[in-house]
Amino acid sequence: MIKDAYIIFRETEIPNMSNEFVHSVTVPRIYKFTADIVRRVREDGASLKTLIYEKKHPNVAGIYGLSVNTLRALPQLDQLLDKTQILREQPRLNPWLAKVLITELLWRKGCLKSCSKPVLTVLAYENKLREEFKSLGSIEIPVVHKDKVQKPRYVRINTLLLSVEKAISIFQEDGWQLLPRSTTYSSYLQSLSQLSKPYFIQDFHIPEIFAFPPSTFFYEHSCYQNGELILQDKASCLPIHLLNPVRGSVVLDMCAAPGMKATHVAAKLQNCGKVYAVEIDAKRFETLVSQIKKTCSSCVIPLNRDALTLDPKLYSHVEYILVDPTCSGSGIVDRPKQSDMDGKPESKRLQNLQSFQVYLLRYALFNFPNVKRIIYSTCSLYPEENEEVIDEVLADIGNSYRLLPVRQLLKNNWINFSSTKYDCGDTCLYSKPDDDFCNGFFVAVFERNFDMTLPKCKLKGGNEYKNLIKIDLTVRKDNVMKTVAYKRNKYGKMSMEEEISVPDDLDEMKISRNVEFVAPDIKRKVKVRKSKKKVKEVGICSDLFGFNHELTLNESKKRQKKTEDTEIKKWKKGKLKHENILEMGKDKEIIETEYDKKQQNVENKTKLSKIKNEKIKIKFI
């Protein structure tokens, strides 16, 4: 019966020019939407709830349940697809749609009623799928029909567009009743635990934060859609609250996407000051820019680059730094479980994350001379990403920084702190979902002691290590210093102005044009072909302990000018931001100044050599 239906349906297909088919029967929207949501959650790291409510589908509960079930079953789905060979035999079938349909067939409703081609294709493999499914053993996947988040729904008022008083009146007009502010943190927690409709309460610590009963939705609220309300958990707001930047100051957010914290800083500054929001990932950078625009955070300057390549000379005026690096996310309460390993620490992954976290924090501590306060935060509950990271950098900074006790900053109105078995003691903050009714978070506060000079640190991220970003890479042969020219052609392959053996992994490195990076102590055999042509100056990148950091080449003066002219033309067409051109201008001035100094040194040495030769000739005569 299935084969007959499948054959009949194939006769109704209308081919088009793109090797796909326009079907007479469309795939149900719930499956299409869910497939796109699951893909973006897995590939882009997007928020599941945000994606669901962006779609504005009438069956929100159905999409949420199907999405969670599909994400939870992904390991088993990959096995089923591999064993049944369905994707190899049906190459036009979208893999994510196939996973959603199989989840619906095997774990949820047990049937597929649509007559669209993707559904009929999956049904043609139903017997194989069920046979292989039995061999996987019993797998329990709870059916989720709605969001069952138990913590309150936190809302941050964007004070750039809406005052706290006006927001309260808007909520009251909507039928909500404001509870009296609590006098102690314990009484506040008691109110949170009993919060229910139609009551809401102002946060005990952060006045622009309000808590509503669990599962309160604001996605369709006009104030949310125009950027006046930000759906942000309280724990995520704590780092900026503790950073407490002074109005008119300069702040650096080293890992800024999706932009919640950067725009929170802008609100604290009331757009009076400057916030550098750095994000290396291109897709996440787009989200960051969108959030900045939506919230009217005009003082935020987005930078699509690696924070580790920021030249401290160009950002020496930074006064506050937020270090909120990639982490395991083990403290996030309402994140759907996506595999059997969720919630279980993976030692190798944690070790890799810790290495990067230490490197980034050390870079912030050692390379910005005017910084007053630095916040380190994660949404993790693992000490490997928290206390152990702090202890490692404490061994390097000496008395040049003080680790401020968060207990005092919050006037003893908090419950959970870091463990005393570590060197950092109980100076850092932990938010625990079961105690504080928000996501799990860790926050450490460093304050600069300007009476002490920064010690020298040769470890990765330290102030001695940063010198690698300043110098040109030179290659030694027969005790003669030579500079090597390097470039890539349109196919991404390397070509050299002179023949030279280079690191094997150079082709795989990411290149960024605004910062120079070079590797020290390169010990490789060099073959230099003699040439009368003037050799161009350039740097060679080096990968850093397995992380694909975005590095750059120091191009020649002529080539730099040509590239910048091209970029300016693109900008005039609307393809580049004004801020990027300004950054290029600053880099250009530094490069030209260094170039002129080098040229002057060469000319001085030449003149000195001529004078000495003349003296020798005179003596000889």
Residue 325 token pair: 């690096």
Pairing of strands 441-448, 401-404: antiparallel
Amino acid at 43: E
Three-class SS state of 201: strand
Pairing of strands 320-323, 401-404: unpaired
Contact 324, 356 (CB under 8 A): no
Label residues 113-147 b or e (16+ Cβ within 10 Å = b): ebbbbbbbbbbbbbeebeebbeeeeeeebeebeeb
Q: How far is CA 231 from the centre of its chain?
A: 19
The terminus-to-terminus CA distance of the chain in angstroms comes to: 112
Which parts of 85-116 fold into alpha helices (H)?
A: 86-89, 95-103
Contact 176, 202 (CB under 8 A): no
Sorted by sequence, the CB contacts under 8 Å of residue 567 that are 6+ apart come out as 576, 580, 581, 584
Q: CB neighbours (10 Å) of residue 528?
A: 15
Check whether the bond before 198 is cis (ω within 30° of 0).
yes
Which parts of 516-556 fold into alpha helices (H)?
A: none
Among 242, 251, 283, CA closest to 270: 251
Sorted by sequence, the CB contacts under 8 Å of residue 314 that are 6+ apart come out as 583, 586, 587, 590
Contact 66, 30 (CB under 8 A): yes
Distance CA 173, CA 101 (A): 43
**Catalytic option among 299, 327, 379, 541:** 379
- From the number of C-beta atoms within 10 Å of its C-beta (0-12, 13-18, 19+), residue 530 rates as exposed
Contact 417, 426 (CB under 8 A): yes
Residue 404 token pair: 């401020």
Check whether the bond before 258 is cis (ω within 30° of 0).
yes
Residues facing residue 401 across a β-bridge = 448
Q: CB neighbours (10 Å) of residue 37?
A: 27
Three-class SS state of 550: strand
Q: CB neighbours (10 Å) of residue 11?
A: 7
Three-class SS state of 386: coil
379 is a catalytic site residue: yes
| Residues forming the active site | 379
